[in-house]
Amino acid sequence: MSPDFTPLLSTLGGALIGLSASAMLLLEGRVAGISGIVGGLFTPKPGDIGWRVAFLAGLVLAGIGGALFAPASVAVEIDRAPWMLVVAGLLVGIGTRLGNGCTSGHGVCGLSRMSPRSLASVLTFMAVGAVVAVAVGKLTGGAS
């Protein structure tokens, strides 16, 4: 078993994500889908910007807090060229627009509401992600 395997912390993190998504849906009537929250900033409705900015600022500040208080928990080693990361980011963005949502919207919120559309989306993007990860690893000679 890997020394990085942390079932207690992983369970706690998952519970916090679920609790946060549930609170957002129950208290605000909104799905905590990150791509939708960001997308709403580009097509804002009156009175709709403040909560979106606050939500995204909370994500960024939590990451900064994690980096300050537990740097090893957010350490990442990337062995890909920067252009590959840009292309990957653009493809993920296009995919979230085509699928009307992302892993947080469909995977966390949609599946918990037993949405058939979210199930189809999650199965699709997980399968495509696995295939692309293996293909890129094979084509570039890197780890897959």
pLDDT digits (tens, 9 = 90+) for 2-32: 567 788 988 998 899 889 888 988 988 888 8
Q: What is the DSSP letter of 101?
A: S
Give a yes or no: residue 46 inside a domain. yes
pLDDT tens digit string along 61-106?
998 998 999 888 788 888 888 898 899 888 888 888 888 888 888 8
Give a yes or no: residue 80 inside a domain. yes
Of 71 and 141, more confident: 71
Domain housing 45 = 7-140
Give a yes or no: residue 1 inside a domain. no
CB hemisphere CA count around 72 (13 angstroms): 1
Spatial contact of 50 and 41, defined as CB atoms under 8 Å apart: no
User: How many domains in the chain?
Assistant: 1
Q: Provide the pLDDT for residue 120.
A: 92
What lies within 8 Å, CB to CB, of 99 at 6+ separation is: 106, 121, 124, 125
**pTM (2 d.p.):** 0.75
- Collapsed DSSP state (helix, strand, coil) of residue 44: coil
Confidence category of residue 58, pLDDT binned at 50, 70, 90: very high
Give a yes or no: residue 2 inside a domain. no
